[in-house]
């Protein structure tokens, strides 16, 4: 227990309070708890808290009322969150690879168009007039393909890479649960 606490101290801790499991999972989904989709509000809150503590590894502490204490539910929630974020991270990385692959294809087509134009001019395949007409089309296509392709390869949208990093960190995050005693209605009203 003491080693676990020191491990949590080294991590950036995100603390989120919930009233019931519907705060973690969508309450619009009638499926059993272990099959429900995650709540968008919960996801947004994690994103917001992550932006505040971007560096280092993460720990997510979920504060809940004592009546939610159930080791099976804790394990299931931890596994579902980790699996969900791992899948989202892999999806984001796949999208980044897809954009880079399209960029590589643009570069290849650009090089092909410029090489074709150079080949046609060097070997005088066409007449001078035809070569000028073909050059009007192939030259811009070639340069556009090369520059646009390199742009796609090198300059990936920051939101893609930031979300991939977020989901990767949340997939690897340490999850723990803290249970709070129920406040009586008298204490709530006296605090206001």
Task: Give yes or no: residues 6 and 31 share one domain.
Answer: yes
Task: Give yes or no: residues 117 and 82 share one domain.
Answer: no
Going by pLDDT thresholds of 50, 70 and 90, the confidence category of residue 25 is confident
**The whole model's pTM is what?**
0.75
Give the pLDDT of residue 26.
Answer: 85
Going by pLDDT thresholds of 50, 70 and 90, the confidence category of residue 2 is low
99-116: pLDDT as tens digits: 999 999 999 999 999 999
Q: Which three-class secondary structure string do you get for 36-76? A: CCECHHHHHHHHHHHHHCCCCCEEEEEEEEHHHCCHHHHHH
Angle between helices 71-122 and 128-154 (to 10 degrees): 160
Is 164 part of a structural domain of the chain? Answer: no
What is the average pLDDT across 48-77?
85
In whole angstroms, give the CA distance from residue 159 to residue 13. 23
In whole angstroms, give the CA distance from residue 180 to residue 191. 17
In this predicted structure, which of 43-52, 68-77, 149-158, 170-179 has the lowest mean pLDDT? 43-52
Give the pLDDT of residue 119.
Answer: 95
Task: Give yes or no: residues 6 and 67 share one domain.
Answer: yes
Number of separate domains in the chain: 2
Task: Give yes or no: residues 26 and 38 share one domain.
Answer: yes
Is 190 part of a structural domain of the chain? Answer: no
Is 178 part of a structural domain of the chain? Answer: yes
Q: Is the dihedral of CA 86, 92, 97, 98 positive or negative?
A: positive
Task: Give yes or no: residues 10 and 87 share one domain.
Answer: yes
Task: Give yes or no: residues 59 and 85 share one domain.
Answer: yes
């Amino acid at each position: 227990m003491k080693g676990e606490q020191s491990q949590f101290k080294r991590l950036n801790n995100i603390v989120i309070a919930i009233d019931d499991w519907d705060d973690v999972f969508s309450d619009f989904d009638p499926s059993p708890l272990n099959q429900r989709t995650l709540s968008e509000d919960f996801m947004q809150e994690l994103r917001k808290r992550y932006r505040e503590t971007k560096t280092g590894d993460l720990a997510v502490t979920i504060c809940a009322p004592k009546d939610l204490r159930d080791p099976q539910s804790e394990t299931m929630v931890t596994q579902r969150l980790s699996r969900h974020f791992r899948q989202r991270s892999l999806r984001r990385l796949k999208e980044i690879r897809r954009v880079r692959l399209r960029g590589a294809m643009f570069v290849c087509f650009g090089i092909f168009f410029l090489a074709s134009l150079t080949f046609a001019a060097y070997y005088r395949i066409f007449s001078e007039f035809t070569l000028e007409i073909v050059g009007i089309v192939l030259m811009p296509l070639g340069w556009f393909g090369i520059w646009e392709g390199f742009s796609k390869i090198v300059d990936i949208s920051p939101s893609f890479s930031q979300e991939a990093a977020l989901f990767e960190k949340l997939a690897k995050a340490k999850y723990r649960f803290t249970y709070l005693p129920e406040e009586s209605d008298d204490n709530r009203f006296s605090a206001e």
